Structure 1
Amino acid sequence: MTLLNGRVEVHGHRGARGLRPENTLPGFAHALRLGVDAVELDVGLTADGVVVVNHDQSLSAVTATDTAPAVPGDPLFPYVGRDIRDLTLAQVKTVDAGMRRLGPGQDSDPFVLTQLPMPGTRVPTLAEVCGLLHGLPAVRPAVELKTDPGWPDDEIRRFVAAVAEVLDDFALLSRSRLLAFDWRVLVEAHRQAPQATRVALVERKTLVPGTEWLAGLSPEDPAAAAVAVGAGILSPEHHLVTSQLVHDAHGLGLPVAVWTVNDPADMARFVEYGVDAIVTDYPDRLRRVLTAYGLPLPESCAPAYLP
């Protein structure tokens, strides 16, 4: 076990998705109370240019429920299933994001069983989340910008600029991490927000030959490609992480943040590999594993927002 910084960071995935509704203020507040080093969240840009927190590029029926149209007779209603960038903030804010449901064809979902429903919870803006984190210097925002290779370059530039502006407004940009599978986002973030740490996300589908996800770089050596794109952290899905990958990344001075790990046995295995951060839906479980290893834990925080 070789850790670059002598500890394993606890990253709350979408807040604490296993315990509270994902990507919501109550979820982030709960993660902070448990004690995390970073809160991971996903963002999109509305039709009227507001950065909102939502995992998919569209509103998913798994996490969102329509209530009423933003204005009577709105032709875009119902909103669930529509792309975030086709909806205004007012339309997005009508959606109830406080209860998880089974998706089409699903007969089970572990999060439905463990997540506390909080009906009436709305989709937050990035600014609202920044307000929660402002004044908590020990906690980093880990903001994933949801794009794909089909996005035009000018939309990538506009999206990165909007995210950076919000973070900068709250004096959070220098301690933020900007995450992306579409590495054009990282290239643009280097240009527009060089003070933020850039995190190169990879999963199996983005590492296939001829991939369009890596800004023209080869997927053969993900760690070397991440360094070449200017990333400060490599963040692979857990299926990809081996002790050799961690060793190779560390040899390049690149920390490794593995996602999304919810089984305590897997958490322990990745600690043994020497990963630098573990992204989890259950920060409480990870804290118990780190305690068993005698590793330091992030302190619990009392955010201003207490649902």
Structure 2
Amino acid sequence: MPVVTSFGGTVELHGHRGARGLRPENTLPGFAHAVEIGVHAVELDVGLTADGVVVLNHDQVLSAANLADTGPATPDDPLYPYVGRAIGELTLAQVRTVDAGSRPPAAFAATQRPAPGTPPPTLAEACALLGAAGVDLAVELKTDPGWPVAAVAEFTAAVAGVLDGAGLTGRARLLAFDWRVLVAARACAPGLGRVALAERKTLAPGTAWLAGLPPEAPAEAALAIGATALSPERHLVTPELVLTAQALGLPVAVWTVNDPGEMAALVDLGVDAIVTDYPDRLRAVLSEYGLPLPAPVRVPAFS
């Protein structure tokens, strides 16, 4: 039987960092491959450069796990090499010299096809590609409880501004482990969805991640902070959590699930969305359930 969910249809397929198991994460070639497979939404991660540009990268720091330096932006740049530095230390010109397509993380070395010479894109560039493809954007803001409140608000407003400028406010949601982002988003961009991310670390006793709320009842806390959806890591998902969240009107999007058997178990549990590094695997599972699938969209520039 088809599973009716809170997102208004069936179980949604969200490509994690694009299609991280198949193409380089948080890159335009990766996003193009995800939409050509067919996804409802693409999850991506953003940071803010020293000159105020929203760019894509998973961590606050440029990581050698998936990035490689190619050369300085200017001769004798004292900040070079850039890999290992925080995005907030670097300008867009410096970040754009980094190769984000040649170094698959070890966990995906056997399945990820490299795209050498691919720079980290800006959020505006990602919006142009994904907006034209007609898929939703799930934009995770990388902050932590050590950030000043003003910095969180500035970053949130910058991201919201890019989405609004691209005309994608109605098709985008902001995701954060640092729930102060959700507070800031509710104030500056109430039209955006607000997704409360949760993992074991952020729900530990005495946590500083939940903007002062207690971690014992994450669904209730997410509702109190103004979230419009709850996104727990897969290890946290129980029937009780799903039922509680959905009873409060919060769709449940589970991350990151790559095993087809686990995908099927989550469909049976009635979750609203599954985030995966392998959209092709999840499509196969959803097809077995007879659930509607998102249409593949060809992206000529990357085909």
Q: TM-score range by the shorter chain?
A: over 0.9
- After the TM superposition, which parts of structure 1 deviate over 3 Å for at least 4 consecutive aligned residues? none
Distance 1:305 1:132 in 2: 10
Displacement after TM superposition at 1:80 (Å):
0.3
1:57-68 alignment runs, 5 A limit: 57-68=60-71
Q: Distance in 2 between matches of 1:99 and 1:289?
A: 30
Asked if structure 2 preserves the Cα contact closer than 8 Å seen for 1:15 and 1:41, the reply is yes
Deviation, 1:302, is 2.2
Within the candidate set 49, 52, 58, 1:49 is matched to 52
Cα shift at 1:101: 4.6
Amino acid at match of 1:78: P
Give 1:234's match in structure 2, choosing from 202, 209, 230.
230
1:132/1:305 contact within 8 Å kept? no
Output the amino acid matched with 1:301.
V
Aligned-CA RMSD value: 1.1
Q: Does the alignment pair 1:183 with 2:183?
A: no
Q: Check if 1:225 corresponds to 2:225.
A: no
| Superposition deviation, residue 134 in structure 1 | 2.4
C-alpha distance in 2, partners of 1:264/1:223? 26
Confirm or deny: 8 A CA contact 1:45 1:84 kept in the other structure. yes
**1:205-248 deviation digits (Å, cap 9, x = unpaired):** 00011111001111010000110011111000000001111111
Query: Against the structure 1 CA distance between its residues 66 and 133, is the aligned structure 2 distance closer, same or farther, given a 3 Å change threshold?
Result: same
Aligned position for 2:136: 140
2:258 is matched with: 262
Q: Does 2:201 align with 1:205?
A: yes
- The one-letter code of the counterpart of 1:21 is P
Q: Does 1:110 align with 2:101?
A: no
* Residue aligning to 2:157: 161
- Supply the distance in 2 between the matched residues of 1:242 and 1:118 (Cα, whole angstroms): 38
Q: Displacement of 1:52 after TM fit?
A: 0.2
CA distance in 2 between partners of 1:219 and 1:35 (Å):
35
Q: Following the alignment from structure 1 to structure 2, what is the Cα–Cα distance between the partners of residues 6 and 57?
A: 35
Cα deviation digits, residues 8-38 of structure 1 (max 9, x gap): 0000000000000000000000000000000
Q: How many residue pairs end up in the alignment? A: 300
Identify the match of residue 124 of structure 1 among 116, 121, 125: 121
Equivalent-residue separation in structure 2 for 1:232 and 1:73 (angstroms): 48
CA distance in 1, matches of 2:225, 2:168: 23
Q: Does 1:285 align with 2:287?
A: no
**2:104·2:112 contact (CA, 8 Å) conserved in 1?**
no
SS in 2 for 1:135: helix
Contact persistence 1:198–1:231 (CA under 8 A):
yes
The equivalent residue for 2:99 is: 96
- Residue aligned with 1:166, SS: helix
Q: Secondary structure at the match of 1:31?
A: helix
- Match of 2:81, SS state, is coil
Counterparts of 2:177 and 2:240 in 1: how far apart (Å)? 22
Change (3 A) 1:121 1:285: same
Give 1:84's aligned amino acid.
Answer: I
Aligned twin of 1:16: 19
Contact 1:133–1:303 (Cα < 8 Å) also in 2: no
Match of 1:253? 249
Name the % identity. Answer: 67
| TM-fit CA distance, 1:301 | 1.2
Report the residue type matching 1:279 in the other structure. V
